[in-house]
Every structure is written in structure tokens, then in C-alpha cells.
Amino acid sequence: MKSPSPSLASLNAGARDRSPEGTAMLAGSTGKHIARAGLGRPGARPEHQTERATLAVDVKALSKSYAGRKVVAEVDLQIATGRIVGFLGPNGSGKTTSLRMLCGLLTPDAGEGRVLGLDFRRQAAEVKRRVGYMTQKFGLYEDLSIRENLDFVARLFSMPDRRAAVDGALERLGLATRQKQLAGTLSGGWKQRLALAACLLHQPMLLLLDEPTAGVDPKARREFWDQIHQLAREGITVLVSTHYMDEAERCDELVYIAYGHVLARGTAAAIVREAGARDLEDAFVRLVDQATDNFAAT
């Protein structure tokens, strides 16, 4: 069995901003790899996080630099509970770095705010226990079965009734009939289901999904998004990065980032209108061109 990735190892060691309808903000002128965000007691919601209108994410001036290059530049992000927010941008725009800072896997250089009512910098360990983080690459153990992988994750979280938790995850994601199948023999769509099941085992109230449907067939992508909308109806907040415009249109709101800067936020229709574009893809092409002019040299 392969060793866990650094992301999971670091976790082991540690244990909807509802914009006015039809408005957008354009700011251009300005397992291993499935790292569950934390271990320990499954994520009970903080007492002051009971109202649906409460912000699940409220951070300001989030920043991170590598080798003198700022990859996330003073990003503000507010997401109300139960909303699905699409996080879009070209490769290398700062999406993954932002997600990793929000769930406590990466320490920001600057920024302040709260995630699920917790100070995301000072209470990073507790944030990890309440957030589910799914990375781009499937990272559970391919030489373990579906059930064995989920049981392993449940052990990491010290869940009191692992069998019941695993049984529930298997049923919810339609994995029960395949539970003895080795993860390495699964197709991309079924690996995606297993990864999501592992993210949900500890009952997080916030899901951070980093391009979860990359390389997955259209039918599996549609089924995955049906599940995401069901989770949102149950009050779980979702921040999901994607390059697919059809997926972006299924989000309640969008945040578009390039060169580490937020260029636009709002509903898909509002972003298209404010950009004077034909459609969402055209709007984002215009935004990237604008960002290149403004930020490429910084």
C-alpha cells in the first residue's frame, strides 16, 4: 500500500455571499490527494452557525506568495450557507492555493476572516475538522477496496461508529454493490463517487472541491452535480472549481480569478451582461485578456 501524500499526512499530523439577484461585480480594472480537511470529531456546526443566511466563508485580503511571486493577491470571498459557488479561472490563477488556505492545509501570508464561524488562521485545526476537501487527482489507495478505503478514512477521523458511517456513505453514493471492488479498477466516474463519499464521511458543512469532474464523462458529471445540488439543499455549502461552462451555469454564483486577482463575481447571467459578452465563455475570455493587460507583468 502506497504512503499517503503530503496533504493527507499533514492532516493526519494535525489529527451563499448572496448578491442581489441579477448583479455582478467586475473587478478586472483592479486518501493521499483527497485531503479531507481535518481529523477528529465529525463537524458539528458552531452554535452561532445555525441560521441559513449566515456566511459559511467570510475572508478578506487572502494572500500568498511563492519565491516573490504573489499567486493569490488580496482576495475577498464571502459565501452564504447552503450556496453553490463556482470558482473559475485559467490554470495557475490561484484557485487551488486559495482552497488549500481556506481549509487550513496552507498558511496564508496575509488575510483574515472566518470559515464556518471559526478564525481560519488561528483555528485552522478546528476548521480542518469541519471542512471536506477534494483535490484534483484521485488519491485513495488503489489496492484497497471501496469499503476498505472508506473504513480507513473513518479511522483517521476517529469516528465512533465506523461501520454505520461507511454503510451510509456507500448507500448515499450508490457504491454498496461495488464495495468489495478495488479502487484501482474503477472508472473515472466511480472513482469520483468514492472520493466524494470519503469527503462526506465526517459530515462536513463546507465542501471545497478542486476540479472534481476533470476527465469524467458527461453522464458521470451530470450525476455528480445532481448530488452536489442535493447536498446544498441539505444546508451544505459548496465552493467548486471547474473549467466547464455548463457546470458554471449550475452554480448559484461565480467567482472568476486570474493572476491571483478576483476579476468578477455574481450570477452567470449578470457576469455575461456586465462584460458585454455573448455568453459565459466569451465573458471569461474578455476577462482573461483584461487581466493579462493589467497583471501579467506583476
User: 37-62, pLDDT tens digit by residue?
Assistant: 333 333 333 433 334 448 999 999 99
**Under CATH, which number does the domain 6-295 receive?**
3.40.50.300
| Percent of the chain topping pLDDT 90 | 68
| Inter-residue contact 22 to 270 (CB < 8 Å) | yes
Looking at 81-85, 170-174, 256-260, 289-293, which range is the least confident one?
289-293
Q: Which pLDDT band, with edges at 50, 70 and 90, does 28 fall under?
A: very low
Q: Which pLDDT band, with edges at 50, 70 and 90, does 295 fall under?
A: confident
Q: Which pLDDT band, with edges at 50, 70 and 90, does 171 fall under?
A: very high
Whether the predicted pLDDT of 31 surpasses 90: no
Looking at 13-22, 110-119, 205-214, 285-294, which range is the least confident one?
13-22
Model confidence, pTM: 0.81
